[in-house]
Chains A and B, each alone.
Chain A
């Protein structure tokens, strides 16, 4: 069965999610690029993309693609990577060595 699909206008209603952790949509990123945040580091700070728990594991390539498409520039950078790259509880770092339980 064929049914013709009519797309709705995109007013932040259509959700094309780029960053799952922080719910950043494609239109968010496009709007930010239009507003002048046209490099990865500033884009990351204004939209929150690549700053979620997963640290950009799915959204960084997508963001780079959108950025390259919108600006026409060859995007050849990643965001600055800092530890921890895997989520870790503060307790496990702060705990004195040798103690396993996080009970105080």
Chain B
């Protein structure tokens, strides 16, 4: 089918990839080379496989978008279990992976010829009433993701957990904010549990190969993955901080003050904590353009994961969409991996919104930065083969006739992040939409509490730099230990120091809108605001 390809990066100026032992996995019966520390998606990708599944309705080819287990475009049948998110599942020797097919895959081209106008299918076969039921039965066959497994899949007997647990402080999300909070709370003697849905702590820090800005006292001058490793080490030294990886929060039930966690190997755990910290980070923002679901259109985080965590090239020549630091940093990461960047296309008008120095360091390596441009269409049948970009007039309207084709084999969407809003909302907070903070965020008080027993820190509180997330996390760790009756006499001192540092960090003209927005949504007493 596909010739043997290897998209792995073996030489990198900064990173060394620890891939582990070589294993063999089978895709639809065909053996593929993989390494122990790779996820299924990364291993498939390294072998040149771009199409992971077919979409539910139009049977369009899909690859992954986010690569961090958020978008569900990468679901496949793994060892007989259907609908497994391959981008967060690690490979195992002899693993059998199947693309999920239904009868609809063959019927799709014919159904596509019908060219139904939008929402027309909602009214198909609804009248007369008696044909609806039989028609529905037939139509259901032409949709869906896969089929039921023939036998009940066996779950690996070891690992995972079951039952209940209680702790003082539960931190959901092991990124910069969560880990810093765990360190501070742990040092104050708080019984802490930190969970993360990946196989190791670190969140997005692990993908950052560039050095951070900010104050040298906190994180500046360190590369992101180093900072992550440092925090992990600090946590491992604290006996009262428990770490659970490959564990995600499924729900929170306020009446019982219980959080339900999902662990590895299909296990669940109920946790009762006195205080919660939600530091679940953010979701990648997508962009609506034609064929925006083609394999080869990725989120910036997805590209970073492939490149810097698994050492797999997303393609040979790509374009970046976006205006902020994310787009600029990702294009630098691509350059470091030896991948050509055909251009950074930014829909913003006056300037690239990221820092000038980030723009300058890719510009001097010959990457064109094109402002006032956006993408209208991704070209290609089963994978991206090019893109059509257009110039924008004022107010964001495309100018007709300015379309041009850019050759590329992947498109990276780095248009920004939205704070993760879902787990936060289960605590019944007061949510507001604040553009300057990235999206829907809860109203919080000075101690970062957004509900009676829950704190918020990091990108899900406001989209900012990792360094501010670290400081916010530290502050929450201290506030929580105070509230739990732990902290020693140094706590108020530390709180003052970190608050000052945070203010200084946000002192640049870039953060003016953010500062004002934060002031607007911060209240004196959260209990009163929630009434």
Q: Which residues of A are in contact with B by a Cβ distance under 8 Å? A: 1-5, 7, 11-18, 20-23, 25-28, 30-32, 35, 46-47, 52-62, 66, 74-76, 78, 81-89, 91-93, 95, 97-104
Contact = CB atoms under 8 A, between A and B. Distances in A.
Contacts of B426: 81, 83, 85
Contacts of B66: 58
B70 interface: yes
23 contacts: A3-B404, A7-B377, A16-B292, A17-B60, A23-B58, A26-B288, A54-B70, A54-B71, A54-B72, A57-B283, A62-B286, A75-B433, A78-B425, A83-B260, A88-B262, A88-B268, A92-B262, A92-B266, A93-B268, A95-B162, A98-B163, A103-B152, A104-B152
Interface residues of B, number: 71
Nearest to B247: A86
A28 B390 CA distance: 24
B284 A88 contact: no
A61 B289 contact: no
A103 B153 CA distance: 8
B354 interface: no
Interface in B377-407: 377, 388, 401, 403-405
A18 B71 CA distance: 12
A97 B160 CA distance: 12
A83 B252 contact: yes
Contacts of A5: 376-377, 388, 403-405
Most chain A beta-carbon contacts within 10 A, residue among B153, B160, B286: B286
A35 B119 contact: yes
B251 interface: yes
B220 interface: no
Most chain B beta-carbon contacts within 10 A, residue among A23, A35, A56, A58: A58
Given A85-B422, A101-B155, A102-B152, 6 more contacts: A15-B60, A23-B57, A59-B286, A60-B421, A92-B268, A100-B160
B413 to A, nearest CB: 10
B83 A53 contact: yes
Most chain A beta-carbon contacts within 10 A, residue among B58, B75, B118: B118
A53 B152 CA distance: 21
A26 B293 CA distance: 12
Contacts of A18: 288
Interface of B: 55-58, 60, 62, 65-66, 70-73, 75, 83, 115-120, 122, 152-155, 157, 160, 162-163, 197, 248-253, 260, 262, 265-268, 283-286, 288-293, 376-377, 388, 401, 403-405, 418, 420-423, 425-426, 431-433, 439-440
Contact of A32 (B57, B119, B422): B119
A7 B213 CA distance: 43
A70 B293 CA distance: 23
A3 B122 CA distance: 38
A7 B376 contact: yes
A16 B58 CA distance: 12
Given A18-B288, A92-B266, A58 B425 contact: no
B62 to A, nearest CB: 7
Contact of A23 (B55, B290, B404): B55
A72 to B, nearest CB: 14
Contact of A16 (B73, B122, B289): B289
A39 to B, nearest CB: 15
A102 B265 CA distance: 10
Most chain A beta-carbon contacts within 10 A, residue among B153, B162, B289: B162
Contacts of B422: 55-57, 81, 85
Given A76-B433, A78-B425, A89 B248 contact: no
Contacts of B62: 20
Nearest to A95: B162
Given A58-B65, A78-B425, A86-B248, A16 B290 contact: yes
Nearest to B117: A12
B118 A86 contact: no
A83 B290 contact: no
Contacts of A27: 118
Contacts of A60: 421
B290 A15 contact: yes
B403 A100 contact: no
B427 to A, nearest CB: 10
A28 to B, nearest CB: 5
Contacts of A61: 285-286, 418, 439
A23 B248 CA distance: 26
Nearest to B293: A17
Contacts of A54: 70-72
Contacts of A99: 162
Nearest to A13: B115
